[in-house]
Structure 1
Amino acid sequence: MSGTAIHRRKSLRLLQGLARACHPLPGLAVTVVAVLLGLGAGADGPRAALLGAAVLTGQLSIGWSNDWIDAARDRAAGRVDKPAAAGEVPVSAVAAAAVAAALATVVSSLSLGWFAGVVLLLSVAGGWAYNLGLKSTAFSGAAYLFSFAALTIGVHAAGPGGTWPPWWVPVTGALLGFGAHFANVLPDLRADAETGVRGLPHRLGPRTGVIVMAGALATASVVLGLAPAGASALYSAVVVTTGVALAVVTTAAAIRAPHSAIAFRLTVAIALLDVVLLLTVST
């Protein structure tokens, strides 16, 4: 095999490792929702694309910093799903990617205007604060509450006029973020426990964690059903009833079998409902 072919294979392996280490699915999901919210707030195509670049690079920086900072801990826990911990990509490369993405999000965020840019950067800062140590405290959920609320404010401010969104938009964002925190952590409770990570979901345990997650998402459904101006009585009744009913079923499932995937899947259904409603009523 020629030197060029070997170099090409190493480069491809590095890119694949970096792609896995950035936590691509959550990052892409947040970016898509942010762009759709931005379009709903009146951003035109080029501005929505710039918003997408700002949010995506911010999410990349958070994802890469997570694997960079946690590399030793993940290695001790035998996390083969983490490329840096498994040796698939150098930790130094992940660190460099995280810093580069952070610099890119500073530039792209501030290009949207000082207000939108600063708020979007505060959202990213919340994610970094979580990775840097907040994740191991009882206040771990605060990072998600803050970051997702700030994200919705920044996305709305990126639209024409740079205005604040209605109060219920960041409230819903915060509740969705809080639910996302539990959804992200609950599957890894045992692995985290082995390395000393004890955030809020770890302290509550799987049963209470699922119940709290369902409660937060159901509250988001209630806010989305009652708060938007002009919502019909039928819309409000259907949304609130559906969200609460799903939360009740989820709670019952969690109490009966806390380690079952059923309760977790039900909370995912509530989250999807809330995201669709948020996109619908915000446009």
Structure 2
Amino acid sequence: MLALMKACHPGPTLVVTATGCALAAMVGRGPGGTLLVGAAVLTGQLSIGWSNDWIDRVRDRATRRSDKPLAGGSFAPRVVAVAAFAALALCVPLSLASGVLAGAVHLVAVACGWLYNVRLKASPVSPLPFAVAFGLLPAFVTLGLPGGPWPAWWALAAGALLGMGAHFANVLPDIADDVALGVRGLPHRLGPTTARLGAAVLLVAASVLIALAPGDRGGVVSVAGLVAVALVLAGGLVGARRSVRRAAFGVTLGVAVIDVTMFVAQGGSLV
């Protein structure tokens, strides 16, 4: 069971699920609606994480990924495949429980994750599924409200930027191994230095957009949030000397937490 949970990419899964719950609570979905959003997002992320490890199992064995249970033969690949499709099956009714349009939007986001795993990971448009999936998360939350309002344009844009920044950051530790095995997404084609710069630019751009878009525009909270983002990025550069993988995830997690906190503290509205 522990190996199976490790194969679902628990860090990103929990971060995205917590972000969805925070947004749902913030817009007034209530305890029940927030729980429903969390369950839908969680099952969707579990399906994406498990399918990723299942599809990449041969490449992970070739590169001896010690952090991937299937690469070490901890259990049969069939177990992960069954878990991925079971989570996907659960995700459909849980998503549609927020409404047909909201559910469809979330299922498109989940489909983007699967499409990345199956096909787009090795293509020049590898950031596209991240942009669409993360950009649609605020829409899934707000479309479940009475009247089904779409979120503000900047919320969609900020989510897309944050998603692409996460993609650039998360591939950094594996660029050399990926290229050797023929996986050449956009960050791989740009090279490690440019990919590192791209991750920073995208994450900062998302933070600036969130800082300036809601209510008070540029107040003390915005300034403090942007300073915190800069410190997290600087800490990531230092931490990368010890572990690029941990630093990349830490930066993405830190910026995501700061962005959500900054938005909530500003009293901004998604709609």
Aligned partners of 2:222 and 2:21: how far apart in 1?
29
Cα distance in 2 between the residues matched to 1:232 and 1:151: 23
Distance 2:22 2:222 in 1: 26
The CA RMSD measured in Å over matched residues stands at: 2.7
In the alignment, what sits opposite 2:48? 62
Instruction: Kindly indicate whether residue 16 of structure 2 is the aligned counterpart of residue 48 of structure 1.
Output: no
Output the TM-score relative to the length of structure 2: 0.87
Structure 2 CA distance for partners of 1:244 and 1:47, relative to 1, 3 Å: closer
Distance change >3 Å, CA 269–CA 103, structure 1 → 2: closer
Taking the aligned partners of 1:245 and 1:16, their CA distance within structure 2 comes to 35
Superposed CA deviations along residues 221-272 of structure 1, whole A, max 9, x for unmatched, are 22112221x3154348726863796699699x69xxx977698566765444
Within a 5 Å distance, the mapping from 1:34-183 to structure 2 comes to: 34-183=20-169
Aligned residue among 237, 253, 273 for 2:258: 273
CA deviations over 1:79-137 (Å, ceiling 9, x no partner): 22211121102111100110000000001001111011000101100100100010101
Letter in 2 for 1:118: A
2:209 matched to which residue of 1?
A: 223
What SS is found at the alignment partner of 1:188? helix
2:226 matched to 1:211?
A: no
The answer for unaligned runs of 5 or more in structure 1 is 1-14
> Kindly, what percent of the aligned residue pairs are identical?
46
**1:139 partner SS:** coil
Structure-1 separation of matches of 2:257 and 2:193: 21
Aligned to 2:182: 196
Is 259-268 or 120-129 further displaced after alignment?
A: 259-268
- Looking at structure 2, the residues matched to 156 and 260 of structure 1 have their Cα atoms a distance apart, in angstroms, of 41
- CA-CA distance at 1:198 after TM superposition: 0.9
Correspondent of 2:9 among 23, 28, 40: 23
**Quick check: 151-160 or 47-56, which moved more?**
151-160
> Matched residues in 1 for 2:260 and 2:61: separation?
34
> Using the alignment, how far apart are the partners of 2:260 and 2:28 within structure 1?
18
Judged with a 3 Å threshold, the aligned counterparts in structure 2 of structure 1 residues 92 and 279 are, in CA distance, closer, same or farther, namely farther
Instruction: From the CA coordinates, give the structure whose radius of gyration is larger.
Output: 1
User: How many pairs align?
Assistant: 265
Q: Could you say if the C-alpha distance between residues 210 and 110 of structure 1 is closer, same or farther in structure 2, counting changes exceeding 3 Å?
A: same
